[in-house]
Every structure is written in structure tokens, then in C-alpha cells.
Chains A and B, each alone.
Chain A
């Protein structure tokens, strides 16, 4: 009787010991977020002529900047290309120098620049795109329709 009680007690201790030795394991979760960039054009820009007709600019009264929403995970470069596609009226035979620039506000802050900017942090921002066309000497913009394309690049 006494031996039986001792055996039962020992068995209980062994079982309890078995539970105490139950192992725990960690389950790992890994993720890699690659650089991504979305450009969504909200509005194209408008150019206005200067009083002396030597400048067409989105910064003058009557002009407006183009607006682009940028969403990124960071690790991307933002830039604008030199203007390559321009349509001018037939009466305009003189050379125009086109200068695109941009600034960024919101999740990122970038002062107006024509160069490339690295956006290291993630965020949602608004890119304002300006364009200025200038003529030198006695050259003037002619009556008619002008159209220019500015390329905004995120890479």
C-alpha cells in the first residue's frame, strides 16, 4: 500500500517534470520592402508671357506650376529632364532656353532646384514643377500657341 502510494507520487512528479520541460520556439517573420515610387500628375502647368515678351514662365502672373503627387518608400532619386519636346508657332524662329525646376513639400521638403534629389525617407509629397523659357538679345516670343513637355523622373 505504502509502495503503491510512493509509485503514484513519483509518477506524478515525472509527469509534472515532463510538462515543465516543454520547449518554446520562436517563429521568425522576414520582410523586404523594395524602393517604390508613384508619380500622379494632378495638374499640368501654364505659362504666361512677360511684359517684354522675352520670357514665358509658370512663375509669372497668369502662369501656374504643374503639380505632381509623389509617394515613395524612400531610397529613390527625383529629377527633371531638360526640355526636349517643344512646339512653337511658325513665326517663332529664334532660340529659346527652357529651364525646368521643381520643389517638394509635404513628407519631403526640397527647395526649388533643377538638379537631382535623393529622397531617403518614405513619405507622401507634392512636387511643384516650374518651367521658364527665355529669349536673349532682341528676340521675342511670337503670337501663337506654345507647348512644352517636362519629364519628371523618379528612379
Chain B
């Protein structure tokens, strides 16, 4: 309830087919000790893939954010919203990367993990 009340602005860009994640840029203004971003990972493949959404700081260190859902199966050419709630941790502003990650073809000798990261700046009023 507290977090729900603290969410001031949600980046509610509509998802677009063929993108791995949208939006990839954003500025958020919040009046509480957390801010929220809604991103839309999408699956450009013609088969289901497992998608994970992670949050990193500018040095790519993990940020203790609340991601809902953090991991899920995404159908072919489908997209779904993911809510990310990030604490300011006492700072007046915070830059984070929200990344969508997937290994679409696992169990092979050299796997490639595709990672699409959006950069977001949040300011606390």
C-alpha cells in the first residue's frame, strides 16, 4: 500500500512488436523514497523464451529493486508489462539500468545471452 501510494509516475509507453524492451530511456519524478518504472519486454522469436528482468546501477552492480514478475515465460512475438520499483536509498536522484535478459537457445556449447538495457533517471522531489 505504501509503495502503491509512492508510485507517482509510471512510464506507460505502449509496447511495440519486435522490440526486446521498451522504453529504453526515461525520466521519473517521485515524491517518495521509491520510484516505479513499467517496462515491456517482448519476444521477437517464433518460440517461447524465458525472460528475466534485472536492475543494475551505473557500474552494473545489482540494485535491490522489486521486479514484478522478475522471471517468466514469454510466448512467440508476445510482450507483457513488468513493474519495477526502485528505492532511492537516501539519494536525491538515481540512475539505473533495467535489463531484459534471455538465452533463447540454451544447452549449446557457446550460448549467447541477449541483454537489452534501458537507462532511467529518477529524481526525488
Contacts and interface: CB of A to CB of B under 8 A. Distances in A.
Interface of A: 34-41, 43-47, 58, 66, 68, 71, 76, 81, 85, 129, 131, 145-155
Q: Which range holds the interface residue count of chain B?
A: 20 to 34
B116 A39 contact: yes
Contact of B118 (A44, A47, A68, A155): A155
B18 interface: yes
Contacts of A153: 99, 115-117
21 contacts: A34-B24, A35-B24, A39-B20, A39-B114, A40-B44, A45-B109, A46-B110, A81-B115, A145-B109, A148-B109, A148-B110, A148-B111, A149-B113, A150-B111, A150-B112, A151-B101, A151-B113, A153-B99, A154-B116, A155-B115, A155-B116
B108 interface: yes
Given A35-B24, A35-B25, A47 B19 contact: no
A71 B109 contact: no
B109 A41 contact: no
Interface of B: 13, 16, 18-20, 22-25, 44-45, 97, 99, 101, 103-105, 108-119
Contacts, number: 98
Nearest to A131: B110
Query: Binding site of A, secondary structure by majority: helix, strand, loop or mixed?
Result: strand
Contacts of B110: 44-47, 58, 66, 131, 147-150
A114 B119 CA distance: 22
Contacts of B13: 34
B112 A129 contact: yes
Contact of B112 (A34, A146, A149, A155): A149
A41 B114 contact: yes
A155 B24 contact: yes
Contacts of B19: 36-38
A71 to B, nearest CB: 7
A124 B24 CA distance: 18
